Amino acid sequence: MASQNDSSLRTTYRRIDHLGASRSGTALMWGQRVTSVALMILTVAFVFLVWSMVGKDYVAVRQIMSKPLPATIMLAYMLIGSYHMMLGIRVIIDDYVPGKHAREWAIVANILFCGAVAFLSTYAILRIGFV
């Protein structure tokens, strides 16, 4: 069986193994799985944290958010959630957006939108907690 690259000793299957249709499917899948497990744990802490702040005034919320642990939980939840959202939307774009150029622009828009969400949520959390 002749291949395109006769100097290669790898079989055709070995050259395409774990690449997927877009050559990055496995990495995206594992990224989604890891972030979803992290979000399951962080969601419990996030809900307890927000529940403890319900009904309190702004000064009390600032006092809670000025401590390192609540601010870290909130930041981790928002940053990992934004990254998980970016990965999920990327999979949808890869599957359903026709045309190479439209897909590339949609991926760029996805990255910019999720980056903006991460940046603005980080700014808001740090502003409430430390300013």
- 46-55 pLDDT, tens digit each: 999 999 999 9
pLDDT band at 100 (very low <50, low <70, confident <90, very high): very high
Alpha-carbon distance of 24 to 128, in angstroms, equals 38
Mean pLDDT confidence for 72-79 = 97
For residue 4, is pLDDT > 60?
A: no
Dihedral pair phi/psi, residue 55, rounded to 5°: 85, -5
pTM of the predicted model as reported, rounded to 2 decimal places:
0.79
Ordered domains of the chain (ranges, CATH): 24-130 (1.20.1300.10)
For residue 76, is pLDDT > 70?
A: yes
